[in-house]
Chain A
Amino acid sequence: MEILQSTTTTWHQACTVEDIPADGGACVLIKGRQIAIFNFSRRNEWFATDNQCPHRHQMVLSRGIIGSQGQEPKVACPFHKKTFSLRDGSCLNDEHYSIATYPIEIRGGIVYVEV
């Protein structure tokens, strides 16, 4: 379901807006890759990151609780509560870890992610 071509990455239609719970996250499968999608309903702000937590390699980040630390939007891994910035993927409580983030767009109730 590719719509736009860029050099190495492609925009994919991931899911509908309703598939992701408000102020929460869910996981989508894109080209064999597990991507976590999150949103903050008040600002209609959306983020996409790896679903895998780098700490113990668990596919669970989409099930984590999201929130903010100061101005930084973040998600907490349900396993050992490592928290990651949703903007740049850096781990906020352990500098050894980081996750990949992906560009995301909403158009007409559809969520698009560039992978």
Chain B
Amino acid sequence: MSTSTETRVVVIGNGMVGYKFCEKLIAKEKEHFRLTVFGEESQVAYDRVHLSEYFAGKSADDLLMAPRDWYSEHGIELYTGDPVVDIDRERKQVRSHHGLVVAYDYLILATGSGAFVPPVDGVEKDGVFVYRTLEDLDLIQSYARKARKGAVIGGGLLGLEAAKALLDLGLEEAHVVEFASRLMPRQIDEAGSGILQRQLEALGLQIHLNKSTQLIQGTDHIEGLQFADGTELPVDMLIISAGIRPRDELAKIAGLETHPRGGILVNDQLQTSDPSIFAIGECALVHQMIYGLVAPGYEMAEVVASQLIGNVKSFRPFDMSTKLKLIGVDVASFGNPFAQEPDCRTITYDNKAKGVYKRINVSSDGKTLLGGILVGDAEQYNMLLQTCKNLTILPPNPEDLILGSRGGEEAGAGVMGLPDEALICSCEALTKGQLCHEISENGQTTVEALKKSTKACTGCGGCTPLVKDLIQGVMKQQGLYVRNTICEHFDYTRQEILDLIKINQLTTYNEVLNELGKGDGCETCKPLVGSVLASLWNENILQKDRAVIQDSNDRYLANIQKGGTYSVVPRIPGGEITPDKLITIGQVAKRYGLYTKITGGQRIDMFGAHVGDLPFIWEELIEAGFESGHAYGKALRTVKSCVGSTWCRFGVQDSVSFAIELEERYKGIRAPHKFKSGVSGCIRECAEAQSKDFGVIATEKGWNLYVGGNGGSKPQHAQLLAADVDKETCTRLIDRFLMFYIKTADPLTRTATWLNKLEGGMSYLKAVVVDDVLGIVADLEKEMQLLVDTYHCEWKEVVENPELRKRFSHFVNVPEQKDPTVQFDSMRNQTKARDWKTVS
């Protein structure tokens, strides 16, 4: 099969670094190499660095480094779920678990590392996990459903990330157990650890220091931890994150040199003791150390790929700066964080009240930055890192770097002040000069576009803020400015339009168009303005000139369906309905020949209504006490509920009553997109509240509030906004959250997408709606209360108003005649819409 001119390369390990090696090699030279990849995991390579985002709603596909097709498209033979079990160095061939034998000219070991599990009695019990692969996360997620208390052994970078994940999974208690006397001892100093600990405790983590775990208690599944000092901690599940262990077992079998404490020994060229075998990534021991980060791994991939095409290249000591993601508290360390006087001058800023600690180490001559630590506020991380790496000459008052200048110009010159050679994205080795060129010459002016064209920000993601600044900087230099404006008729964003309409007190579309727009408007701006007017003033959406600016659903207060008929959905708050009301629905549906179906939101949808029948149908429904369900609007759909403590033997609170209260409160309110909610009576979550825009789950002490969840085509779990709050507080927080969303989201953006795009994400949202950093919560609550107080049932108004009612006919010249083209077929004793005719 292979010709003699082909060089056969086998890669063992389809992880982040193994994948990157393939990508780099084929980018350099495709023709002369024949690449075969073996991976032990059944998944193709995925982004392990962002593994925790799997819990935040990313799918396994979202995390892939490249889809499976990518390999075949580039002629790479890929075997996943089939680890290599033997290397025959004499014959230069490898053998896989399934018995495949493949010959190589060069062999690349990229086997990564596994979690190090200390030899504690009981680690084999059910409920004990490690945190390394997608499979681990699946196991953790399903076990967490029935667990209440969880712990993590290990207070390092990964351990804290795992502990945060436990909280996000909804466990009532999440503990961190650390052997040392403080958290993250390898990255930050004592003062920093102290501040970090307090911040994490405020988030709800319980931290136990100086604890050496001796025994994992329980019969077949874990019930608790027992420590050397005699104390115990009852838990239902445990994640062990006590460090990593390089996967060197295969290298050992093959007789390659390894280190007694783990790691495949390689030289600066990353060659093992066999010159045709290289090791890269977390399995390689180079410069006497394991580089447990992705950026140095990528650089190793580059070094080996370059050598295979004949260049001379070696791996030099690599920067180990880190910034912790996802934890809710910023933590970063860079350069030499621990350098001490007299080798340097140390400047610290310690604000216990605010939970912020910063330290920088400046060279004795005051000219360059040697390293530092940031806890609680790591905004300056990227700038400081670059200043440090590029040996940029410091300003006369280096303390401005961490304190921000007090008056006067910004300290340093920001990212635009860095030299062109400054490395911005270390994972992909992209300099400032290269990125500026992409932005200014090739017009890649968004992070997304740059990700595609340069791969910047796709590795650890740490450079994203800097890349954003760079885009802004370059655009500003060129006098460009991009905004998400509505359409050709309005040169404003949705948020700007909302503010302007409010300031100018405009209430009709034509006023808005005259004051702020041009042309005749269109199907984009009209419904948008309609929604903003409704969000601000809550007047009937069909009155004044507003009917004709609404999308067909809002215009007819019903959902248009195939064939041009409408569906009718009365509100059934919390899914609770009396037998009499059920009978009314049955009678109405029979009378008007409607198809009935239970919806996913616990109510009843009636399909197939002629536009002219709508007011009559509603007359009967209103008579029986129903109100509009707003299924047609960008508004609250339903607050789904489980039966809770009123009937369920597990329920700890009355979820139905709370769901009804919430649905009654927010019904009819117009937003940038529809929004849904749910209330569960206990942690079992039968109402699926965490898949909703806002969801509430009962606890022993009160209610947990989650926001930003989504079902639909991009499912995403909601995130915890507040725990154990009472009903009043919960409602107040929902008021603020919803109003903040309504006022700032782009059109047709669900809360999940809005939150994903929100700069600072969940921590920022918390800062705004819980801690009130912007000082706006009183206004948000007031604005929401106005909407609640001005609620009216739109259908009631139409039924009672002959002018509005007149608009509900198919032919204005023969109002009593129905559209003769409407046709139904029958199916299971009901009607269904006739299929589209697709030929034209």
| Chain A interface residues toward B at CB < 8 A | 14-15, 19-30, 34, 40, 42, 52, 54-60, 63-70, 73-74, 76, 78-79, 81, 83, 96-97
Contacts and interface: CB of A to CB of B under 8 A. Distances in A.
B560 interface: yes
Contacts of B563: 58
Given A67-B520, A67-B521, A68-B519, 4 more contacts: A15-B813, A58-B563, A63-B560, A66-B548
A57 B564 CA distance: 10
Contacts of A21: 547-548, 807
A26 B840 contact: no
B549 A69 contact: no
A29 B548 CA distance: 21
Of A28, A30, A58, most buried by chain B (CB within 10 Å of CB) is A58
B838 interface: yes
B840 A55 contact: yes
Contacts of B527: 65
B837 A57 contact: yes
Contacts of A54: 840
Interface residues of B, number: 40
Nearest to A56: B836
B817 interface: yes
B510 interface: yes
A23 to B, nearest CB: 5
Interface stretch (B58-66, B550-558, B589-597): B550-558
B523 A65 contact: yes
A65 B526 contact: yes
B744 to A, nearest CB: 25
A79 B560 contact: yes
Contacts of A22: 545, 548
A73 B523 CA distance: 12
Kindly list the 7 A-B residue pairs having the minimum CB-CB distance in the complex, ordered from nearest.
A24-B548, A67-B522, A78-B552, A76-B523, A68-B520, A19-B812, A65-B523
Contacts of A97: 840
Contacts of A40: 520
B353 interface: no
A56 to B, nearest CB: 4
Interface of B is mostly: loop
B522 A59 contact: no
Interface in B802-826: 807, 810-814, 817, 819, 821-822
A19 B812 CA distance: 6
A25 B552 CA distance: 11
A69 B522 CA distance: 8
14 contacts: A23-B545, A26-B807, A26-B812, A28-B813, A42-B520, A54-B840, A57-B836, A58-B564, A60-B552, A60-B560, A65-B551, A67-B522, A67-B525, A68-B522
A26 B814 CA distance: 12
Nearest to B552: A78
B819 to A, nearest CB: 6
B487 to A, nearest CB: 9
A30 B814 CA distance: 10
Interface in B478-527: 488-489, 509-510, 519-523, 525-527
Interface in B169-227: none
Given A29-B814, A63-B555, A56 B519 contact: no
Contacts of A15: 812-813
B563 to A, nearest CB: 7
A60 B564 contact: yes
B812 A20 contact: yes
Nearest to A13: B813
A57 B840 contact: yes
Of A73, A76, A81, most buried by chain B (CB within 10 Å of CB) is A76
Contact of A56 (B509, B813, B838): B838
Given A65-B522, A67-B521, A78-B551, A19 B813 contact: yes
A73 B563 CA distance: 26
A14 B811 CA distance: 10
Contact of B523 (A29, A30, A60, A64): A64
A28 to B, nearest CB: 5
Of B488, B510, B555, B811, most buried by chain A (CB within 10 Å of CB) is B811
Contact of A96 (B510, B812, B838, B840): B840
Contacts of A70: 488, 519
Contacts of A65: 522-523, 526-527, 548-551
B543 to A, nearest CB: 12
Interface in B822-837: 822, 836-837
B564 A59 contact: yes
Nearest to B522: A67
Of B564, B814, B819, B836, most buried by chain A (CB within 10 Å of CB) is B564
Nearest to A54: B840
Contacts of B556: 63
Nearest to A20: B812
B200 to A, nearest CB: 49
A73 B520 CA distance: 8
A70 B487 CA distance: 11
A67 B545 contact: no
Of B488, B522, B814, B837, most buried by chain A (CB within 10 Å of CB) is B522
A70 B526 CA distance: 16
A104 to B, nearest CB: 14
B522 A23 contact: no
A28 B836 contact: no
Nearest to A74: B522
Contacts of B555: 63
B519 A67 contact: yes
Contacts of B520: 23, 40, 42, 66-68, 73
B523 A59 contact: no
A85 to B, nearest CB: 13
Contacts of A28: 811-813
A32 B211 CA distance: 86
Contact of A59 (B489, B547, B819): B819
Contacts of A29: 811, 813-814, 817
Nearest to A63: B552
B522 A78 contact: no
A27 B521 contact: no
A59 B807 CA distance: 16
A14 B813 contact: yes
A27 B560 contact: no
A83 B522 CA distance: 10
Of B520, B545, B560, B810, most buried by chain A (CB within 10 Å of CB) is B520
Nearest to A65: B523
Contacts of A58: 562-564
